[in-house]
Chain A
Amino acid sequence: MIILKVNDFNKAFGGLQAIKDFSFELEKGEILGIIGPNGAGKTTLFNLISGFYSPDTGTALFKGEDVTGLRPYQLCKRGLARTFQIPQLFTNLTVLENVRIGSYSRITSSREATQEALRILDTVGLYEKRNELASVLSIGHRKNMELAKALATGPELILLDEVVAGLNPKETDTIIEHIIRIQKQGITVLLIEHVMKAIMSLSNRIIVIHYGKNIAEGRPGKISKDPKVIEAYLGEEYVFSKSR
């Protein structure tokens, strides 16, 4: 079943065509990675899908329903959640309050919402930190909390924007485990990532974006051998290391 279908998205900022005729489909339950060089349009694409921007032309179908131009909160209610590249915290609130705001999107009772938030904090390993202010968390914990907030909204599709960027190898492994568990729960994952290890090991399928265009699509092993991709994104360094 197709959970998300994007048809010919176009988005320009002034003279800059950030996204050009971009189309793809997302199968329910899969992990799809989007890679591309800096400035290729990855985050713009995320902002279009999650409703922070509306496309100049093109449509998006979520669970078969046209959701083009809906606001982020409307998409959230329909089961589409996202995280931000730079964690967007509620700085002066505790970790628990941060995550509870996510669970309030589907639970009105504050007692039940608290329980749900605690349960999710437990799964991402932040239970012990629940009464700390968000502002004192380390970057690793912030990324975990960002994930927990999005999960608390009870999504069917989650958009993860560079969740392991800036983390040490141990923290990276923890987040990778979380993402695998998220997929096992039946949540579809759309991933943007720079860290090759993470995206290659996680993704069932990868799309390569370059100058706002979808230039290649396929399984990780196939993508990493595609000459167009090597040229656009992985670059000379990667070619050298392969030949050695």
Chain B
Amino acid sequence: MSSTTQYTRNILVIVVAGFILIILPHFIGDYYIHMATMILLYGYLGLAWNILGGYAGQFSFGHAAFFGVGAFTSTLLQLNIGVNPWIGMFLAGIAGMLLGLFIGALCFRYGLRGPYFALAMLALAEMLRLLAVQWMTVKYPLGINIPINTDSFWNFQFDKKAPYYYIMLFMTAAALYLTHIIEVKRIGSYFKAIRENEAAAESLGINLFKYKLLAMAISSFLTAMGGTFYAQYYLIVDEEAAFGVNGSIEILLGPIIGGAGTVFGPVLGAGVLECLSEVTRDVFEGYGGVHLMVYGVILVITIIFLPEGILGGLQLIFRKLKKRGRRH
């Protein structure tokens, strides 16, 4: 297939998918709109993680740190000095990015890799969680509540669920587009080179420190903005939801299952996980905890049989089929 027809086909798929996603809330109830919003949120967070973990190969096990900093930054600014949540969201991104650059500079300066980097990130999130626990017990023992405001776009508060869905749809689409740009430009090739082989990357003129920090900055900025959305959606922030280990795992599970280092993998993974978790919860209703066991077993099986994730696995099969077809 020539690249122009492929290009036209891709555009067509995006337009059709976009159209369906835009009209979707008119046909489904609040429960499903909520579910779709969660898929988009974790798809978005997965995309953010994917830039650092999937493309640049720096496996972060503590992205909740940025998520939490984002949620706290916009919320506290709003509460204490009345900063508008949209501006707060941008400032949250900046705060997350500064934290990312700080921890990134420390880790990458000393060449922390693989599991060591993952653990350093986990430690960062845990440190922030413990700090938040201590501080909030004194100041906000019941979590920080964002006061209810009138329904308006400017206030980032709505009576209905659909507007949140649209905001998240827009953010996810933007993150997808950004990932696509990275994928086709030099920066994406450099990220992948660092992931695949640092010595070879450096000998071909890549400044490892600079490009790892760049991946970290983009990733942490986006993740922190997701934190603000979460806070505005639930109108409450507590240390467990913000900095908990569960959050870190949920962020990286989507890309791992869907396909790390691919453009659509994280969103696909988030969708599969969310549906899986809903279905198992439904089927095993009344047997406390069984759905989590089944959910876990399915996860383990996926990781054993599709170590490159769903999209990665499909790409591999597709490549093999193409080769076989050429041989005959």
Contact = CB atoms under 8 A, between A and B. Distances in A.
A71 B209 CA distance: 11
A158 B189 CA distance: 23
Contacts of B190: 101, 104
B196 A81 contact: no
A140 B21 CA distance: 50
Contact of A149 (B204, B207, B208): B204
B206 interface: yes
A73 B205 contact: yes
Contacts of A92: 192, 196
Contact of A101 (B185, B204, B207): B204
A153 B184 contact: no
B100 to A, nearest CB: 22
Interface in A25-49: none
A105 interface: yes
B77 interface: no
A149 B192 contact: no
B200 A90 contact: yes
B24 interface: no
Interface string B161-202: 000000000000000000000001110011011001101111
B203 interface: yes
A50 interface: yes
A101 B204 CA distance: 7
A138 B117 CA distance: 33
Contacts of B184: 110
Contacts of A102: 204-205
Contact of B203 (A72, A89, A100, A108): A72
A149 to B, nearest CB: 6
A93 B199 contact: no
B319 interface: yes
Interface string A65-91: 000000111001100011010001111
Given A97-B192, A108-B186, A110-B184, A52 B199 contact: yes
A168 B184 CA distance: 37
B200 A149 contact: yes
Most buried by A among B196, B199, B208: B196
B193 A133 contact: no
A88 B208 contact: no
A113 interface: yes
A82 B200 CA distance: 9
Contact of A77 (B185, B193, B205, B319): B205
Binding site of B, secondary structure by majority: helix, strand, loop or mixed? helix
B189 A97 contact: yes
Interface in A101-133: 101-102, 104-106, 108, 110, 113, 133
Nearest to A107: B186
A73 B192 contact: no
Interface string B194-227: 0011011111111110000000000000000000
B186 A104 contact: yes
Contacts of B193: 90, 93, 101
Contact of A91 (B186, B189, B197, B202): B197
B196 A93 contact: yes
A84 B199 contact: yes
A125 B202 CA distance: 25
B203 A101 contact: no
A160 to B, nearest CB: 12
Most buried by A among B185, B193, B204: B204
A61 B199 CA distance: 23
Given A101-B190, A110-B186, A71 B197 contact: no
B199 A73 contact: no
Contact of B206 (A52, A73, A82, A110): A73
Contacts of B207: 71, 73
A77 B192 CA distance: 20
Nearest to B186: A104
Contact of B208 (A73, A77, A81, A100): A73
Contacts of A76: 203-205
A100 B204 contact: no
11 contacts: A52-B199, A73-B205, A73-B208, A81-B203, A84-B200, A84-B203, A90-B197, A90-B201, A101-B189, A104-B204, A149-B200
Interface of B: 184-186, 189-190, 192-193, 196-197, 199-208, 319
Given A89-B197, A105-B204, 8 more contacts: A71-B202, A71-B207, A84-B203, A88-B199, A92-B192, A101-B201, A104-B190, A110-B189
In the A-B complex, the 10 residue pairs with the closest CB atoms: A105-B205, A88-B200, A76-B205, A90-B196, A72-B202, A101-B193, A104-B186, A102-B204, A72-B203, A73-B205
